[in-house]
Amino acid sequence: MNPYLEKPGDTMTLTSNRRILIIDDDVELSSLLVDYLTLEGFSASSAADGTEGLETLGSGDFDLVVLDVMMPGISGVDVLRRIRQTSSIPVLMLTAKGDPVDRIVGLELGADDYVPKPCPPRELVARIHAILRRTHRETLASEPIVVGPVTIDQTQRRVQTNKGEIGLTGTEYALFELLARHAGNPVPKEELYQKALGRPMGPNDRTVDVHVSSIRKKLSSTIGSQLKIESVRGFGYRLTVTDASV
């Protein structure tokens, strides 16, 4: 999938009434992104720092947050940490180009994806579309997916066990559902990027690895070792039932 859109307005039908909040202290960049997202059919607004961003997010109904990592006062990482304490809203991080640490930390805290700065507005919009497609898509009623002790409710996008629900972010859910559909068989990493993240895998890209690590921790804390995500060296990942007892 081409990560760039040809021009604003090509995907209007996917953006109707979607509210985007940009939290970035770069006022000029924020203004440019708000204008571009508006042309794309979004309802976009901005906040100049973390404090204002949290206040704005708490007083409005937003569909996605674009969050800069490097900000004075409350950093983007701390803002993300506070967001994840109460909300699973999709978050797209803006990170310093060439700094993998910010990206990994953000992903570990629950960011859905990241875009290095400076980035073309078209790429940012493409990433937003990909996130919204997987987190807000309308799902037709269908049979649950059952893998060992886990039941995936595709309509509600929820992962249930007899020991409680496993709370996954939108991106984690998309990855887990894809692995569950192929349970017992390895899924190529490139396919996980394309189908779950909606974009190609970039060079030295660890986004899927970090999300899988988070899913593993959540599985382990809820159901122990009954279900595992195995690494298939040089290929991808495989979801395996290790103990079918509930």
pLDDT per residue over 8-30, tens digit each?
Answer: 444 444 555 789 999 999 999 99
The last residue of a domain, from among 136, 163, 193: 136
pTM of the model: 0.75
The last residue of a domain, from among 136, 156, 175: 136
Question: Between vectors from CA 31 to CA 26 and to CA 63, what angle results, nearest 5°?
Answer: 95
Residue 7 lies in a domain: no
Which residue shows structure tokens 């890209």? 205
3-class DSSP string for 176-234:
HHHHHHCCCCCEEHHHHHHHHHCCCCCCCCCHHHHHHHHHHHHHHHHHCCCEEEEEECC
The last residue of a domain, from among 88, 114, 136: 136
pLDDT confidence of residue 218:
95
Residue 6 lies in a domain: no
Residues 166 and 108 in one domain: no
SS3 166: strand
Label residue 1 by pLDDT band (50, 70, 90).
very low
Question: Between vectors from CA 243 to CA 241 and to CA 244, what angle results, nearest 5°?
Answer: 80
> pLDDT tens digits for 20-70?
999 999 999 999 999 999 998 999 999 999 999 999 999 888 999 999 998
Average pLDDT, the chain: 86
Residues 125 and 170 in one domain: no
Residues 129 and 158 in one domain: no
* Partners of 68 in beta bridges: 94
In angstroms, the CA 104 to CA 124 distance is: 19
pLDDT confidence of residue 3:
29
DSSP 8-class letter at 112:
-
Residues 22 and 110 in one domain: yes
CB-CB contact of 43 with 17 (8 Å): yes
Residues 49 and 158 in one domain: no
Burial (0-12, 13-18, 19+ Cβ within 10 Å), 114: buried
Domain of residue 93, residue span: 12-136
> pLDDT tens digits for 70-117?
898 899 999 999 999 988 899 999 987 667 777 888 899 999 999 988
Residues 109 and 222 in one domain: no
In angstroms, the CA 192 to CA 52 distance is: 35
In angstroms, the CA 36 to CA 43 distance is: 10
Tally of structural domains, the chain = 2
The residue count for the chain: 246
